[in-house]
């Protein structure tokens, strides 16, 4: 399984941005996809996750009501719609996939893509 995140960029506080994650390879093995982020000097942080079959979904409290995770299974794409961006959202964002439900537990994700940088300026 391979994942590639894209869509990052420089935006102003209050703006919106949509990240995309292309999933390829043995996608039939995947149960869930998640988004994580890592800011400079900080630990990797869970953002959101959902399961392909309409099962569990989870958002971090820090993004609840602002970010939405969704997918187009036919295109094998996962999206992270980010609204009302704030300075603390500045980070490298990664998409990851797991073969079972891992929620916010990052070691449970066995497949990771290269990140995409989101910079929020004031």
Ordered per-residue pLDDT tens for the chain, 122 residues: 999 999 999 999 999 999 999 999 998 899 999 999 999 999 999 999 999 877 888 899 999 999 999 998 888 999 999 999 999 999 999 999 999 999 999 999 999 999 999 999 99
Take residue 36 and report the two structure tokens written for it.
């994580």
Work out whether strand 17-24 and strand 77-82 pair parallel, antiparallel, or are unpaired.
Answer: antiparallel
For the beta carbon of residue 54, count every other beta carbon within 10 angstroms: 7
What is the rounded distance in angstroms from the CA atom of residue 37 to the CA atom of residue 61? 14
Report pLDDT for 22. 96
Cβ 2 vs Cβ 25: under 8 Å: yes
Query: What is the helix, strand, coil percentage profile of the chain, to 5?
Result: 5, 50, 40
Per DSSP bridges, beta strands 17-24 and 9-12 are: unpaired
**DSSP letter assigned to residue 88:** G
Residues 6+ apart with CB under 8 A from 107: none
Pairing assessment for the beta strands 9-12 and 67-72 based on DSSP bridges: unpaired
């Amino acid at each position: 399984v391979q994942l590639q995140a894209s869509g990052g960029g420089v935006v102003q506080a209050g703006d919106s941005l949509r990240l995309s994650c292309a999933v390829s390879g043995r996608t039939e093995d995947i149960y869930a996809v998640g988004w994580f982020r890592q800011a400079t000097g900080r630990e990797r942080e869970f953002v959101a996750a959902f399961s392909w079959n309409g099962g569990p979904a989870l958002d971090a409290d820090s993004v609840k009501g602002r970010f939405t995770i969704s997918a187009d299974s036919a295109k094998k794409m996962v999206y992270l719609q980010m609204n009302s961006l704030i300075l603390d959202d500045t980070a490298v964002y990664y998409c990851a996939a797991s073969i079972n439900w891992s929620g916010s537990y990052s070691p449970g994700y066995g497949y990771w893509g290269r990140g995409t940088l989101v910079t929020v300026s004031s």
